[in-house]
Amino acid sequence: MLEEIAQQPSALAKTIAEERGKVARLGSFIKARNIDLIMLVARGSSDNAALFGRYLLEITTGIPVALAAPSINTLYGARLNLGRALVVGVSQSGEGEDINRVLESAREGGAYTVGITNEPASSMVGIVDETLLMHGGRERSVAATKTYTGQMLHFYMLADALAGGGVKLDYEAIPDYVAHALELQPLIEQLVERYVFMENCVVVGRGLVYANAFEMALKLMETCYVVAERFSSADFFHGPLALVERHFPIFVFAPPGVTLAGVKELFGRLRELRADTLVFTSDDEAAGLCTRAVRLPGEIGEMLAPIPYIVPAQLFAALLADAKGLDPDAPRSLAKVTRTV
Protein backbone atom coordinates (compact mmCIF):
# COMPACT_ATOMS: atom_id res chain seq x y z
CA MET A 1 0.00 0.00 0.00
CA LEU A 2 2.79 2.43 0.89
CA GLU A 3 4.62 1.61 -2.35
CA GLU A 4 1.50 2.32 -4.39
CA ILE A 5 0.83 5.56 -2.51
CA ALA A 6 4.37 6.64 -3.42
CA GLN A 7 3.81 5.76 -7.10
CA GLN A 8 1.01 8.31 -7.48
CA PRO A 9 2.99 11.29 -8.88
CA SER A 10 4.39 9.22 -11.74
CA ALA A 11 1.09 7.37 -12.30
CA LEU A 12 -0.84 10.64 -12.52
CA ALA A 13 1.73 12.26 -14.81
CA LYS A 14 1.66 9.25 -17.15
CA THR A 15 -2.14 9.24 -17.22
CA ILE A 16 -2.16 12.91 -18.25
CA ALA A 17 0.41 12.28 -20.98
CA GLU A 18 -1.34 9.19 -22.37
CA GLU A 19 -5.01 10.19 -22.09
CA ARG A 20 -5.41 13.97 -22.38
CA GLY A 21 -5.67 13.95 -26.17
CA LYS A 22 -8.32 11.24 -26.13
CA VAL A 23 -10.29 13.05 -23.40
CA ALA A 24 -10.19 16.31 -25.36
CA ARG A 25 -11.58 14.60 -28.47
CA LEU A 26 -14.19 12.83 -26.35
CA GLY A 27 -15.25 16.15 -24.83
CA SER A 28 -15.83 17.69 -28.26
CA PHE A 29 -17.86 14.67 -29.34
CA ILE A 30 -20.01 14.67 -26.20
CA LYS A 31 -20.72 18.41 -26.38
CA ALA A 32 -21.96 17.93 -29.93
CA ARG A 33 -24.53 15.39 -28.63
CA ASN A 34 -26.12 18.10 -26.46
CA ILE A 35 -26.44 15.89 -23.40
CA ASP A 36 -28.52 17.12 -20.46
CA LEU A 37 -27.61 14.48 -17.84
CA ILE A 38 -24.46 12.73 -16.65
CA MET A 39 -24.85 9.51 -14.66
CA LEU A 40 -21.93 7.95 -12.78
CA VAL A 41 -22.00 4.30 -11.72
CA ALA A 42 -19.47 2.75 -9.32
CA ARG A 43 -18.91 0.88 -6.05
CA GLY A 44 -16.46 1.22 -3.14
CA SER A 45 -13.54 3.62 -3.56
CA SER A 46 -14.59 4.12 -7.17
CA ASP A 47 -17.95 5.36 -5.89
CA ASN A 48 -16.11 7.87 -3.70
CA ALA A 49 -14.21 9.06 -6.77
CA ALA A 50 -17.56 9.35 -8.56
CA LEU A 51 -18.93 11.46 -5.70
CA PHE A 52 -16.03 13.84 -6.27
CA GLY A 53 -16.76 13.73 -10.00
CA ARG A 54 -20.34 14.77 -9.37
CA TYR A 55 -19.26 17.92 -7.55
CA LEU A 56 -16.59 18.82 -10.07
CA LEU A 57 -18.70 18.20 -13.18
CA GLU A 58 -21.73 20.10 -11.88
CA ILE A 59 -19.57 23.04 -10.79
CA THR A 60 -17.70 23.30 -14.08
CA THR A 61 -20.28 22.26 -16.69
CA GLY A 62 -23.69 23.12 -15.23
CA ILE A 63 -24.96 19.70 -16.32
CA PRO A 64 -26.87 17.77 -13.62
CA VAL A 65 -24.97 14.70 -12.44
CA ALA A 66 -26.53 11.67 -10.77
CA LEU A 67 -24.89 8.81 -8.90
CA ALA A 68 -26.53 5.64 -10.18
CA ALA A 69 -28.08 3.08 -7.85
CA PRO A 70 -27.11 -0.18 -9.61
CA SER A 71 -29.83 -2.17 -7.82
CA ILE A 72 -32.47 -0.18 -9.73
CA ASN A 73 -31.32 -2.09 -12.78
CA THR A 74 -29.81 -5.33 -11.47
CA LEU A 75 -32.44 -6.23 -8.84
CA TYR A 76 -35.55 -4.29 -9.83
CA GLY A 77 -35.11 -4.56 -13.58
CA ALA A 78 -35.94 -0.92 -14.28
CA ARG A 79 -35.05 0.50 -17.69
CA LEU A 80 -34.23 4.21 -17.88
CA ASN A 81 -34.64 6.59 -20.80
CA LEU A 82 -31.09 7.86 -21.23
CA GLY A 83 -31.17 9.07 -24.81
CA ARG A 84 -29.56 12.41 -23.91
CA ALA A 85 -27.30 11.14 -21.16
CA LEU A 86 -23.63 10.41 -20.71
CA VAL A 87 -23.17 7.36 -18.45
CA VAL A 88 -19.72 6.84 -16.95
CA GLY A 89 -18.76 3.57 -15.26
CA VAL A 90 -15.88 3.73 -12.79
CA SER A 91 -14.14 0.51 -11.77
CA GLN A 92 -10.56 -0.29 -10.82
CA SER A 93 -10.79 -3.81 -12.24
CA GLY A 94 -13.46 -3.28 -14.88
CA GLU A 95 -15.03 -6.55 -13.69
CA GLY A 96 -17.79 -5.33 -11.37
CA GLU A 97 -20.79 -7.29 -12.62
CA ASP A 98 -23.40 -4.80 -11.44
CA ILE A 99 -21.50 -1.84 -12.87
CA ASN A 100 -21.15 -3.53 -16.25
CA ARG A 101 -24.82 -4.56 -16.35
CA VAL A 102 -25.84 -0.96 -15.72
CA LEU A 103 -23.55 0.18 -18.55
CA GLU A 104 -25.07 -2.39 -20.92
CA SER A 105 -28.58 -1.29 -20.00
CA ALA A 106 -27.67 2.39 -20.34
CA ARG A 107 -26.29 1.83 -23.81
CA GLU A 108 -29.47 0.00 -24.79
CA GLY A 109 -31.40 2.99 -23.41
CA GLY A 110 -29.65 5.37 -25.78
CA ALA A 111 -26.86 6.71 -23.56
CA TYR A 112 -23.30 7.31 -24.66
CA THR A 113 -21.16 5.21 -22.32
CA VAL A 114 -17.63 5.72 -21.03
CA GLY A 115 -15.59 3.43 -18.78
CA ILE A 116 -12.82 4.58 -16.42
CA THR A 117 -10.67 1.59 -15.45
CA ASN A 118 -7.14 0.44 -14.72
CA GLU A 119 -7.43 -2.77 -16.76
CA PRO A 120 -7.31 -2.46 -20.57
CA ALA A 121 -8.34 -6.10 -21.05
CA SER A 122 -11.31 -5.99 -18.66
CA SER A 123 -14.94 -6.81 -19.43
CA MET A 124 -15.90 -3.16 -19.11
CA VAL A 125 -13.75 -2.20 -22.10
CA GLY A 126 -15.83 -4.44 -24.34
CA ILE A 127 -19.11 -2.90 -23.17
CA VAL A 128 -18.63 0.88 -23.33
CA ASP A 129 -18.39 3.25 -26.28
CA GLU A 130 -15.11 4.73 -25.04
CA THR A 131 -12.56 3.78 -22.39
CA LEU A 132 -10.36 6.07 -20.30
CA LEU A 133 -7.43 4.22 -18.77
CA MET A 134 -5.30 4.88 -15.73
CA HIS A 135 -1.62 4.30 -16.40
CA GLY A 136 -0.21 3.48 -12.99
CA GLY A 137 0.29 -0.25 -13.51
CA ARG A 138 -1.39 -3.10 -11.64
CA GLU A 139 -2.60 -2.24 -8.15
CA ARG A 140 -1.79 -5.15 -5.80
CA SER A 141 -2.94 -3.84 -2.42
CA VAL A 142 -6.60 -4.52 -1.66
CA ALA A 143 -6.91 -0.92 -0.44
CA ALA A 144 -7.19 1.29 -3.51
CA THR A 145 -4.90 4.33 -3.53
CA LYS A 146 -3.36 5.13 -6.91
CA THR A 147 -6.49 3.98 -8.74
CA TYR A 148 -8.65 6.29 -6.60
CA THR A 149 -6.57 9.34 -7.47
CA GLY A 150 -6.30 8.17 -11.08
CA GLN A 151 -10.08 8.07 -11.34
CA MET A 152 -10.32 11.54 -9.81
CA LEU A 153 -7.78 12.81 -12.35
CA HIS A 154 -9.93 11.53 -15.20
CA PHE A 155 -12.83 13.57 -13.85
CA TYR A 156 -10.59 16.63 -13.93
CA MET A 157 -9.70 15.98 -17.55
CA LEU A 158 -13.31 15.24 -18.50
CA ALA A 159 -14.59 18.36 -16.70
CA ASP A 160 -11.93 20.47 -18.43
CA ALA A 161 -12.98 19.06 -21.80
CA LEU A 162 -16.72 19.55 -21.22
CA ALA A 163 -16.65 22.94 -19.49
CA GLY A 164 -17.53 26.09 -21.36
CA GLY A 165 -16.87 29.75 -20.74
CA GLY A 166 -13.10 29.47 -20.73
CA VAL A 167 -12.90 27.27 -17.62
CA LYS A 168 -9.33 25.97 -17.20
CA LEU A 169 -8.58 23.60 -14.36
CA ASP A 170 -4.76 23.48 -14.68
CA TYR A 171 -4.76 19.85 -13.52
CA GLU A 172 -1.22 19.43 -14.88
CA ALA A 173 0.05 20.73 -11.51
CA ILE A 174 -1.51 17.86 -9.55
CA PRO A 175 1.37 15.33 -9.84
CA ASP A 176 3.81 17.85 -8.34
CA TYR A 177 1.36 18.70 -5.55
CA VAL A 178 1.07 14.99 -4.75
CA ALA A 179 4.86 14.66 -4.65
CA HIS A 180 4.98 17.44 -2.04
CA ALA A 181 2.20 15.77 -0.05
CA LEU A 182 4.24 12.56 0.13
CA GLU A 183 6.93 14.49 2.02
CA LEU A 184 4.54 14.54 5.00
CA GLN A 185 5.15 10.85 5.73
CA PRO A 186 7.64 11.41 8.62
CA LEU A 187 5.16 13.71 10.37
CA ILE A 188 2.32 11.23 9.93
CA GLU A 189 4.47 8.37 11.25
CA GLN A 190 4.68 10.33 14.51
CA LEU A 191 0.99 11.27 14.56
CA VAL A 192 -0.40 7.75 14.19
CA GLU A 193 1.10 6.65 17.50
CA ARG A 194 -1.53 8.77 19.23
CA TYR A 195 -4.31 6.78 17.53
CA VAL A 196 -3.13 3.17 17.91
CA PHE A 197 -5.99 2.33 20.28
CA MET A 198 -8.66 4.29 18.38
CA GLU A 199 -11.80 2.24 17.76
CA ASN A 200 -14.26 4.92 16.54
CA CYS A 201 -13.89 8.23 14.76
CA VAL A 202 -15.55 10.70 12.41
CA VAL A 203 -14.14 12.09 9.15
CA VAL A 204 -15.47 15.44 7.89
CA GLY A 205 -15.25 17.27 4.58
CA ARG A 206 -17.43 19.49 2.44
CA GLY A 207 -17.77 20.45 -1.20
CA LEU A 208 -15.02 19.16 -3.46
CA VAL A 209 -13.32 17.31 -0.56
CA TYR A 210 -16.54 15.71 0.71
CA ALA A 211 -15.63 12.54 -1.19
CA ASN A 212 -12.29 12.46 0.61
CA ALA A 213 -14.13 12.13 3.92
CA PHE A 214 -15.81 8.99 2.54
CA GLU A 215 -12.53 7.66 1.19
CA MET A 216 -10.48 8.22 4.37
CA ALA A 217 -13.25 6.62 6.44
CA LEU A 218 -13.28 3.62 4.10
CA LYS A 219 -9.50 3.26 4.35
CA LEU A 220 -9.64 3.37 8.15
CA MET A 221 -12.39 0.74 8.19
CA GLU A 222 -10.80 -1.69 5.74
CA THR A 223 -7.14 -1.43 6.83
CA CYS A 224 -7.33 -0.49 10.54
CA TYR A 225 -10.74 -1.98 11.52
CA VAL A 226 -11.81 1.37 12.95
CA VAL A 227 -15.52 2.26 12.89
CA ALA A 228 -15.34 5.50 10.89
CA GLU A 229 -18.38 7.64 10.12
CA ARG A 230 -18.22 10.38 7.48
CA PHE A 231 -20.11 13.63 7.25
CA SER A 232 -20.32 16.97 5.54
CA SER A 233 -19.28 19.72 7.95
CA ALA A 234 -22.73 21.24 7.36
CA ASP A 235 -24.56 18.01 8.20
CA PHE A 236 -22.42 17.40 11.27
CA PHE A 237 -24.24 20.20 13.11
CA HIS A 238 -27.58 18.43 12.48
CA GLY A 239 -27.49 15.65 15.05
CA PRO A 240 -24.10 13.91 14.79
CA LEU A 241 -22.52 16.61 16.97
CA ALA A 242 -24.29 14.95 19.91
CA LEU A 243 -21.92 11.95 19.80
CA VAL A 244 -18.84 14.12 20.44
CA GLU A 245 -17.31 13.90 23.88
CA ARG A 246 -13.91 14.68 25.36
CA HIS A 247 -11.02 13.27 23.27
CA PHE A 248 -13.34 11.83 20.60
CA PRO A 249 -11.21 11.67 17.39
CA ILE A 250 -12.36 13.74 14.43
CA PHE A 251 -10.42 14.12 11.17
CA VAL A 252 -11.25 17.11 8.97
CA PHE A 253 -10.31 18.19 5.46
CA ALA A 254 -10.09 22.01 5.41
CA PRO A 255 -8.55 23.29 2.17
CA PRO A 256 -8.81 26.96 1.20
CA GLY A 257 -11.96 28.15 -0.53
CA VAL A 258 -15.66 28.73 0.01
CA THR A 259 -16.15 25.91 2.53
CA LEU A 260 -13.40 26.99 4.92
CA ALA A 261 -15.40 29.54 6.94
CA GLY A 262 -18.06 26.95 7.81
CA VAL A 263 -15.42 24.40 8.76
CA LYS A 264 -13.78 26.91 11.11
CA GLU A 265 -17.15 27.46 12.75
CA LEU A 266 -17.33 23.71 13.38
CA PHE A 267 -13.81 23.75 14.83
CA GLY A 268 -14.89 26.34 17.37
CA ARG A 269 -17.71 24.11 18.55
CA LEU A 270 -15.51 21.00 18.63
CA ARG A 271 -12.96 22.89 20.69
CA GLU A 272 -15.63 23.71 23.25
CA LEU A 273 -16.46 19.99 23.43
CA ARG A 274 -12.75 19.14 23.82
CA ALA A 275 -12.73 16.76 20.89
CA ASP A 276 -9.44 15.41 19.53
CA THR A 277 -9.25 17.09 16.12
CA LEU A 278 -6.72 16.48 13.36
CA VAL A 279 -7.00 18.79 10.35
CA PHE A 280 -5.55 18.58 6.84
CA THR A 281 -5.13 22.22 5.85
CA SER A 282 -2.89 25.05 4.68
CA ASP A 283 -4.73 27.65 6.77
CA ASP A 284 -3.02 28.99 9.91
CA GLU A 285 -6.24 29.75 11.77
CA ALA A 286 -7.75 26.34 11.04
CA ALA A 287 -4.58 24.63 12.22
CA GLY A 288 -4.59 26.69 15.42
CA LEU A 289 -8.17 25.72 16.23
CA CYS A 290 -7.40 21.98 16.15
CA THR A 291 -5.52 19.61 18.41
CA ARG A 292 -3.17 18.58 15.60
CA ALA A 293 -2.59 19.66 12.02
CA VAL A 294 -1.12 18.24 8.83
CA ARG A 295 -0.05 21.28 6.84
CA LEU A 296 -0.20 21.20 3.05
CA PRO A 297 1.35 23.81 0.73
CA GLY A 298 -0.60 27.06 0.59
CA GLU A 299 -0.40 27.30 -3.20
CA ILE A 300 -2.81 24.36 -3.57
CA GLY A 301 -6.11 26.09 -4.29
CA GLU A 302 -9.60 24.75 -3.67
CA MET A 303 -10.20 23.33 -7.15
CA LEU A 304 -7.04 21.21 -7.18
CA ALA A 305 -6.98 20.29 -3.46
CA PRO A 306 -8.91 16.96 -3.48
CA ILE A 307 -6.14 14.74 -4.89
CA PRO A 308 -3.14 16.07 -2.90
CA TYR A 309 -5.26 16.32 0.25
CA ILE A 310 -6.20 12.62 0.19
CA VAL A 311 -2.54 11.54 0.07
CA PRO A 312 -1.71 12.25 3.75
CA ALA A 313 -4.97 10.49 4.68
CA GLN A 314 -3.88 7.43 2.68
CA LEU A 315 -0.53 7.52 4.46
CA PHE A 316 -2.28 7.86 7.81
CA ALA A 317 -4.37 4.73 7.22
CA ALA A 318 -1.43 2.64 5.98
CA LEU A 319 0.89 3.74 8.81
CA LEU A 320 -1.80 3.36 11.47
CA ALA A 321 -2.48 -0.19 10.30
CA ASP A 322 1.22 -0.95 10.60
CA ALA A 323 1.37 0.60 14.08
CA LYS A 324 -1.58 -1.62 15.07
CA GLY A 325 0.27 -4.70 13.80
CA LEU A 326 -2.12 -5.18 10.86
CA ASP A 327 -1.43 -5.85 7.18
CA PRO A 328 -3.10 -3.10 5.12
CA ASP A 329 -2.41 -5.02 1.89
CA ALA A 330 -4.58 -7.97 2.87
CA PRO A 331 -7.49 -6.90 5.10
CA ARG A 332 -9.50 -9.73 6.59
CA SER A 333 -12.62 -10.87 4.70
CA LEU A 334 -11.80 -8.72 1.63
CA ALA A 335 -10.67 -9.41 -1.93
CA LYS A 336 -9.30 -7.04 -4.57
CA VAL A 337 -12.22 -7.64 -6.95
CA THR A 338 -15.69 -7.66 -5.37
CA ARG A 339 -18.53 -8.97 -7.51
CA THR A 340 -22.09 -7.98 -6.62
CA VAL A 341 -25.36 -7.67 -8.50
In the chain, residues under CATH classification 3.40.50.10490 are: 2-169, 176-323
Assign 196 a pLDDT band (cuts: 50, 70, 90): very high
pLDDT tens digits, 85-125: 999 999 999 998 999 999 999 999 999 999 999 999 999 99
Question: Using an 8 Å Cβ cutoff, are 134 and 150 in contact?
Answer: yes
Q: Whole-number mean pLDDT of the chain?
A: 93
- Angle at Cα 297 formed by Cα 296 and Cα 299, nearest 5°? 135
pLDDT at 242: 63
Q: What are phi and psi of 136, to 5 degrees?
A: -100, 0
pLDDT at 187: 97
Q: Taking the mean position of all CA atoms in its chain, how far away is CA 263? A: 19
Q: How is domain 2-169 classified at the architecture level of CATH?
A: 3-Layer(aba) Sandwich (3.40)
Out of 271-275, 304-308, 321-325, least confident range: 271-275
pLDDT at 335: 53
Nearest to 97 by CA among 281, 271, 341, 308: 341
Question: Using an 8 Å Cβ cutoff, are 36 and 28 in contact?
Answer: no
- Domain 176-323 class, CATH top level: alpha beta
Residue 164 pLDDT exceeds 90: no
Longest Cα–Cα distance in the chain: 56
Q: What gap in Å lies between CA 60 and CA 244, rounded to an integer?
A: 36
Average pLDDT score over residue span 22-41: 95
| H or E segment and range at residue 232 | strand 227-232
pLDDT at 139: 85
Out of 122-131, 136-145, 190-199, least confident range: 136-145
Question: Using an 8 Å Cβ cutoff, are 296 and 181 in contact?
Answer: yes
pLDDT at 339: 53
Average pLDDT score over residue span 43-70: 96
| H or E segment and range at residue 288 | helix 284-289
CA distances to 224, 225, 318 from 197, rounded to whole Å, are 10, 11, 15
Predicted TM-score of the model (pTM): 0.94
pLDDT tens digits, 230-252: 999 888 766 667 677 778 999 99
Residue 60 pLDDT exceeds 70: yes
pLDDT at 340: 60
pLDDT at 240: 65
pLDDT at 236: 73
Average pLDDT score over residue span 333-340: 54
Name residues whose C-beta falls within 8 Å of residue 186's C-beta, 6 or more positions apart in sequence: none
Q: What gap in Å lies between CA 154 and CA 160, rounded to an integer?
A: 10
pLDDT at 333: 56
